[in-house]
Amino acid sequence: MSYFDAASSAPLHPVARQALLASLDEGWADPARLYREGRRARLLLDAAREAAAEAVGCRVDELGFTPSGTAAVHAGVAGALAGRRRVGRHLIVSAVEHSSVLHSAEAQEKEGGSVTRVSVDRTGRVDPAGFASGLRSDTALACLQSANHEVGTVQPVTEVAEVCRAAGVPLLVDAAQSLAWGPVEGEWSVLAGSAHKWGGPAGVGLLVVRKGVRFAAQGPTDERGYGFENLPAIVAAAASLRAVRAEAAQEAVRLRELTERIRVRVPQLVPDVEVVGDPERRLPGIVTFSCLYVDGETLLHELDREGFSVSSGSSCTSSTLTPSHVLKAMGVLSEGNVRISLPRGATAEDVERFLAVLPGAVSGVRENLGAPTPVAVMKEDELVVDALGKRCPIPVIELAKVIGDVTVGGLIRVLSDDEAARLDIPAWCEMREQEYVGEEPAEKGTAYLIRRLR
């Protein structure tokens, strides 16, 4: 079985396993106690904090451990907003942030604050000017991930940090996906990370608050912060972060070559595919693509049967039947979405076997869904496609089947009540060089208008 979902959770690093087992014997006592066992535990905790701080590039007294990366984000956002409550209650986030950041933003709105969501381009990258234009006199905090978790696009943190610093606004960086590859550059103020993303154990996050940043921890607090530390997990997290950093430069070169191989060859092997994310400024191990006329959930099951564990942002894999907020913000195809995130040690043989299996898996799914075949052109100026009640990717399949039934310049009106159609139909038009005219309210659902150009 080839595990290609390291962006969700990386396999436990061997160094983490060794450190975890060793500290189970040495670090079980309360590090706040002054007796021998407590002092031994305190030494382990202090050493872990020093190692993590060195990897992050911060002072030891600026870094603390949390029960998870999500807890670190929530505590960081809440504490920074509370620390600057006299300035205002305005928060800026990018539209492609991790759900933990976006949920914090929603909580801010429910409590009477305001949120500006900065848009991204088709590669998933923010424009620093977007953050600059969103800054207000009452802006308390800005949030930007260091790299995107779904498409791997690296964000311009340094530039955004400069914009925020000039305005006197702290910047919180969610660095969960990038910390394994190196420290986050720029004058950021708060940083959050998650150990299981870099090969540490689950249940350990880290939160860094720079000296001088106004910060007021929220919720019940005491001298133990989040309570009794999971010391063995913390030690393992710090040890694995140091280990992956030592391997990062060499491993990045190797994984980047493998993901580039996937980026280039998938469109050659499989027709009607859109590779998404920035082609250059991206994490080494992540590559994402979407396939027209494919049910994402079915494709994931097919690949699983072939021995590959992958992830997807397709609406077809979601109980809400809505596409990934990342793909939606980017304005790219969501149906048949596949995210490959290679773990440490992934081999060229694994990738070649995946490339050999993928075309057949996609072809089989398309055949079962009745993917389009060429049809004769008919002399009609407008055609209505009723796709109401049909879910991703059926509305786009129906559109593709009838595009040849109208004359060049003719109009097709697709009726759909599937939220994914709002993203996938324009994306299909761009891929097939047809004109997407826009959308109109319909008696049921929405009418999407497409003009045939060729």
Q: Give, for all 454 residues of the chain, the pLDDT tens digit.
A: 799 999 999 999 999 999 999 999 888 888 989 998 899 999 999 999 999 999 999 999 999 999 999 999 999 999 999 999 999 999 999 999 999 999 999 999 999 999 999 999 999 999 999 999 999 999 999 999 999 999 999 999 999 999 999 999 999 999 999 999 999 999 999 999 999 999 999 999 999 999 999 999 887 665 556 778 899 999 999 999 999 999 999 999 999 999 999 999 999 999 999 999 999 999 999 999 999 999 888 999 999 999 999 998 865 555 555 788 999 999 999 889 999 999 999 999 999 999 999 999 999 999 888 865 433 334 356 889 988 888 888 889 989 888 888 888 889 999 999 888 998 999 999 998 999 999 999 888 999 999 999 8
Query: For tokens 């979601």, what's the residue?
Result: 318
Q: What are the phi and psi torsion angles at 448 (to 5°)? A: -105, 125
What CA–CA distance (Å, rounded) separates 378 from 145? 50
Q: How far is CA 180 from CA 20, 184, 186, 250, 277, in A?
A: 19, 10, 17, 12, 20
- Cα gap 262→280, rounded to integer Å: 14
**Rounded alpha-carbon distances, angstroms, from residue 436 to 136, 287, 325, 338:** 35, 27, 21, 25
What six digits make up the tokens of 450? 């497409």
Q: How far apart are the first and last CA of the chain?
A: 44
Q: Which amino acid is at 389?
A: G
Q: Cα torsion at 265, 271, 276, 281 (round to 10°)?
A: 30
Contact present, 91 and 109 (Cβ < 8 Å): no
Active site residues: 316
Q: Is 153 helix (H, G, I), strand (E, B) or coil?
A: strand
Q: Which of 50, 94, 86, 56 is nearest to 72 (CA)?
A: 56
Would you state the pLDDT for residue 371?
A: 66
Per-residue pLDDT at 350: 96
Residue with tokens 């969103």: 134
111 with 140: CB under 8 angstroms? no
β-pair type (337-341, 286-291):
antiparallel
Long-range contacts of 261-265 (CB under 8 A, 24+ apart): 261/348, 261/351, 261/355, 262/287, 262/289, 262/340, 262/351, 262/354, 262/355, 263/287, 263/289, 265/355
- Which residues on neighbouring strands pair with residue 205, listed in sequence order? 66, 194
- Prior bond to 441 cis, omega within 30? no
